[in-house]
C-alpha cells in the first residue's frame, strides 16, 4: 500500500495543493541497502506539489526539499547536504484493453507493459516512464511512493563534497586540511607545503 496517495476523482482542472512528508524511516524501509545516505531527522523529505486533471490526464508538479547527511568524497566527513529538485509528471490512464490493441506503445514499444510497469500499476496504481516525466495510472488512486523515490535519487549529488574547496585530509594527522574558508589541522608540514604539492595530492586523491 503506497503511503503517498492522491485520489483521481477529487482532482479538477484547477490545481490543488498537496504537502507530503517522507520520513527517514520511510527512506530506510525503501532503500535498506543505502547505508551511506542518512536522512536528516529534523528535515524529512518534503514534497510540496500541485495536482490537477484535464480530461483523464493527471498533471503533478512541484519541488522536493530535503536534507541528507552525506559522506564527503574527499575528506570522508559527514555533512548535511541540502536537496532541491523540481519535478513534473503527466499521467495518462492505462486501460486493460490497451495492452491487446497495442495502443499504448509509448512506454514499451510493443503494446503491453514490462514486468516493472505491471508491478508499479499493481502496487501503486502508477507505471512510470523512462524519463520520469510521463507515466500511466490505473484505478482511482495514484500512489507516488516510487515516483518520490526516483526524484530523491535524481537529486543526490554524484560527487558529494562538504565544501567545494575541500582539500581532503592531512596525511600526517588524518584531520581535514585547512583551506581559505575553513580551519584545519595544525601540522606545520602541511602549512608550509607548496600549493603545487597540495594540488598534486588532491589530484591523486580524486584519481583513487
DSSP assignment of 126-152, as one string? EEE-TTSSEEEE-SSEEE-HHHHHHHH
Is the distance from CB of 193 to CB of 184 less than 8 angstroms?
no
Which one of 72, 151, 152, 169 is in contact with Zn ion (CB under 5 A)? Answer: 72
CB 119 to Zn ion: min, Å: 39
Q: Of the two residues 9 and 207, which places its CB atom closer to Zn ion in the complex?
A: 207
Which one of 88, 172, 191, 203 is in contact with Zn ion (CB under 5 A)? Answer: 172
Is the distance from CB of 3 to CB of 27 less than 8 angstroms?
no
CB 196 to Zn ion: min, Å: 19
- The residues, ordered by sequence, that sit 6+ positions from 185 with a Cβ below 8 Å of its Cβ are 170, 172, 173, 175, 176, 177, 178
Stretch that binds Zn ion, among 1-9, 27-35, 51-59, 162-170 (CB under 5 A): 162-170
- The residues, ordered by sequence, that sit 6+ positions from 152 with a Cβ below 8 Å of its Cβ are 22, 27, 45, 64, 66, 83, 85
The verdict on 170 binding Zn ion (CB under 5 A) reads: yes
What are 9's three cell numbers?
476523482
Main-chain dihedrals φ then ψ at residue 119, nearest 5 degrees: -60, -45
The verdict on 185 binding Zn ion (CB under 5 A) reads: yes
CB 69 to Zn ion: min, Å: 13
CB 166 to Zn ion: min, Å: 3
Which one of 187, 198, 201, 202 is in contact with Zn ion (CB under 5 A)? Answer: 187
Which one of 59, 69, 134, 173 is in contact with Zn ion (CB under 5 A)? Answer: 173
Q: Of the two residues 144 and 170, which places its CB atom closer to Zn ion in the complex?
A: 170
Which one of 53, 74, 104, 138 is in contact with Zn ion (CB under 5 A)? Answer: 74
121-160: buried (b, 16+ CB within 10 Å) or exposed (e) per residue?
beebbbbbbeeeebbbbbeebbbbbbbbbebbeebeeeeb
Which one of 22, 60, 70, 75 is in contact with Zn ion (CB under 5 A)? Answer: 75
Which one of 22, 37, 155, 166 is in contact with Zn ion (CB under 5 A)? Answer: 166
d(CA 47, CA 58): 17
Stretch that binds Zn ion, among 7-15, 47-55, 95-103, 163-171 (CB under 5 A): 163-171
Where along the sequence are the contacts to Zn ion (CB under 5 A)? 72, 74-75, 162, 166, 170, 172-173, 185, 187
Amino acid at each position: 500500500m503506497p503511503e503517498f496517495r492522491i485520489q483521481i476523482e477529487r482532482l479538477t482542472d484547477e490545481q490543488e495543493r498537496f504537502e507530503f512528508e517522507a520520513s527517514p524511516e520511510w527512506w530506510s524501509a525503501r532503500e535498506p541497502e543505502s547505508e551511506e545516505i542518512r536522512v536528516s531527522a529534523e528535515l524529512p523529505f518534503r514534497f510540496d506539489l500541485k495536482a490537477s486533471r484535464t480530461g483523464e490526464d493527471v498533471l503533478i508538479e512541484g519541488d522536493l526539499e530535503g536534507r541528507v547527511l552525506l559522506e564527503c568524497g574527499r575528506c570522508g566527513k559527514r555533512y548535511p547536504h541540502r536537496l532541491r529538485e523540481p519535478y513534473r509528471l503527466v499521467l495518462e490512464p492505462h486501460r486493460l484493453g490497451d495492452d491487446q490493441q497495442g495502443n499504448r506503445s509509448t512506454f514499451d514499444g510493443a503494446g503491453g507493459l514490462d514486468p516493472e510497469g505491471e508491478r508499479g500499476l499493481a502496487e501503486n496504481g502508477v507505471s512510470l516512464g523512462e524519463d520520469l516525466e510521463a507515466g500511466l495510472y490505473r484505478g482511482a488512486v495514484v500512489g507516488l511512493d516510487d515516483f518520490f523515490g526516483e526524484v530523491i535519487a535524481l537529486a543526490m549529488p554524484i560527487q558529494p563534497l562538504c565544501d567545494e574547496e575541500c582539500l581532503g585530509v592531512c596525511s600526517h594527522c588524518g584531520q581535514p586540511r585547512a583551506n581559505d574558508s575553513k580551519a584545519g589541522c595544525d601540522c606545520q608540514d602541511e602549512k608550509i607545503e607548496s600549493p603545487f604539492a597540495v594540488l598534486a595530492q588532491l589530484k591523486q586523491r580524486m584519481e583513487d
